[in-house]
Amino acid sequence: MGETPRDWRDDRIAELEAENAQLKQMLREALQRIAELERMLGLNSQNSSKPPSTDNERARKKRRRKKPSGRAPGGQPGHQGHCRELLPEDQVDHIKKHIPPSCRGCGQELSAQHATGHPARHQVFELVPKLVECTEHQLVSCQCPACGEVTRGRLPAEVAGSGWGSRLSGLSGALSVVCRDSRRQVDWFISEVIGAPSSLGTVQKHFEEVSAALEPGFEQVRAALQHPKNVVGLDETGWRLGNLPYWIWVAETENLAFYIVREGRRKEFARELVGESKERIFVTDRYGGYSFLPQNHHQICHAHMKREFTAMAAREGPMGDIGVKLHASSEAFQKAWIEVKSGKTSRGEFVSRMKDEVVPRWLTLLKEAKALDEKAPGFVGWLLKDAKHVMLWTFLDHEDVEPTNNRAERALRGPVIQRKLSWGSKSEAGLRLMERLWTAAETCRRQGRSLLDYITASMEALRGEKAAPVLALA
């Protein structure tokens, strides 16, 4: 028998089946893309690393929802009161005595000789019209009686070349970093409130001098951060140099904060920030620039992980179920950690329960998420690759390590506000000034020191060519 000719309809069916399979694949990819775009549209500061300032109105309203406490605003009954303490009389500038002119009982005329007991005291603080004092330095010329040569006196090194004293110059720097004042605002404050002659050029000149004065303290903090027993938090945020994007990098400990501003968010700058010592423990987010840090000395921030779990829990199906479990477990252990810090729960008991129950449970859930058919969130593969998940639990083996990087994030709040107000720096010298001012201001705040006193002492040391004051206290 001859071969039966192939029916053209079979070819058409095969062609349509192939086209249908292709269209189904395109539909699956499109649906996945739509789901990813919807997920990205739903990202906010509560389920990602996006800053709160980028939240839309809906997310902001949701964030503001708080259960009413039922209490009236203000101080609550039984709270410890706070009142202004009176200065002792030897510290008061003026005393005015108010004597009653007559007796409130019978009308008899009264005078100071009738005073009895201790007077009731009330103190009023006022801003005087002129807060600054002016010292004129007169250089006297003397003629030598022996040879007739005329010699003129010299200005002391600490006042030569400047019309502002060390404290007034230090105030300009403190206003710039603490109050985040612009140069024009500093100029107004010093001329209008302080009562000293000022101009934008004068302010800029003294900013440059303040920057030079703060450099030794800046380098002290850089060196002190290398101590092998330090627990160092690392973080970064945006800045600008003119129209160019730059990044602020911070390394901080309980008593120190060190800032640098560089032209990118790259591993080379993370290495510069960290320095050479690898014996310290570092607390960071999942940013890949910190991947060079040794895993056994690296703690990943659990506040960031909780936001990742929130986003994962918003998914539908098995992936969302795993996200719900991870989020609930994260909330529970972080609440338990607060009880450990407050002394309500022993650390040993907490660590044992975490290692026996929570750590293996998280690893199991992550592996389950990885094994699902749908694409897992990026952090799942990241944690499972090269056993990075062990970096979630470094704090369990080191008492002085926190599970979050919140302290480093708080160290960047001031610079972020300043960025929004000033739009960054205009020159490389301006970058160096801000690095040194942020380092001095945050380090002084953490040590409970006066920033103005420290800058003043630094200015005096610079002008008098003396050793700079110590910023990096032990």
The whole-number average pLDDT for the span 344-368 is 93
| Per-residue pLDDT, 24 | 92
- Give the integer Cα–Cα distance in Å for 326 and 309: 6
Secondary structure of residue 109 in the 3-state scheme: strand
**pLDDT range class, residue 473, cuts 50, 70, 90:** confident
- Give the integer Cα–Cα distance in Å for 118 and 293: 67
Please check the confidence at residue 375 and state whether its pLDDT lies above 90.
Answer: no
Please check the confidence at residue 439 and state whether its pLDDT lies above 90.
Answer: yes
Tokens of 307: 């936001």
Q: Are the CB atoms for 170 and 450 separated by under 8 Å?
A: no
What angle do helix axes 166-178 and 428-447 make, rounded to 10 degrees?
Answer: 90
**pLDDT range class, residue 63, cuts 50, 70, 90:** low
Strand partners, 143: 150
- Among 24-33, 68-77, 196-205, the range of highest mean pLDDT: 196-205
What DSSP string runs through 154-222? Answer: ---TTTTT-SS-HHHHHHHHHHHHHS---HHHHHHIIIIII-----HHHHHHHHHHHHHHHHHHHHHHH
User: Could you read off the pLDDT of 4-46 as tens digits, one per residue?
Assistant: 777 778 888 888 999 999 999 999 889 888 877 877 777 776 6
Q: Are the CB atoms for 159 and 172 separated by under 8 Å?
A: no
| Per-residue pLDDT, 380 | 93
User: Could you read off the pLDDT of 261-308 as tens digits, one per residue?
Assistant: 999 999 999 999 999 867 899 999 999 999 999 999 999 999 999 999
**pLDDT range class, residue 458, cuts 50, 70, 90:** very high
Domain spans, the chain = 302-400
Residues 6+ apart with CB under 8 A from 13: none
Tokens of 332: 């529970």
Tokens of 229: 């027993």
User: DSSP state, 236?
Assistant: E
The whole-number average pLDDT for the span 385-408 is 93
**pLDDT range class, residue 48, cuts 50, 70, 90:** low
| Per-residue pLDDT, 65 | 64
- Give the integer Cα–Cα distance in Å for 235 and 284: 7
Residues 6+ apart with CB under 8 A from 39: 311, 314, 315
User: Could you read off the pLDDT of 218-266 as tens digits, one per residue?
Assistant: 999 999 999 999 999 999 999 999 999 999 999 999 999 999 999 999 9
The whole-number average pLDDT for the span 175-185 is 94
**pLDDT range class, residue 315, cuts 50, 70, 90:** confident
User: Could you read off the pLDDT of 114-157 as tens digits, one per residue?
Assistant: 999 999 999 998 888 888 899 999 999 999 999 999 999 998 88
User: DSSP state, 114?
Assistant: G
Per cent of the chain over pLDDT 70 is 95
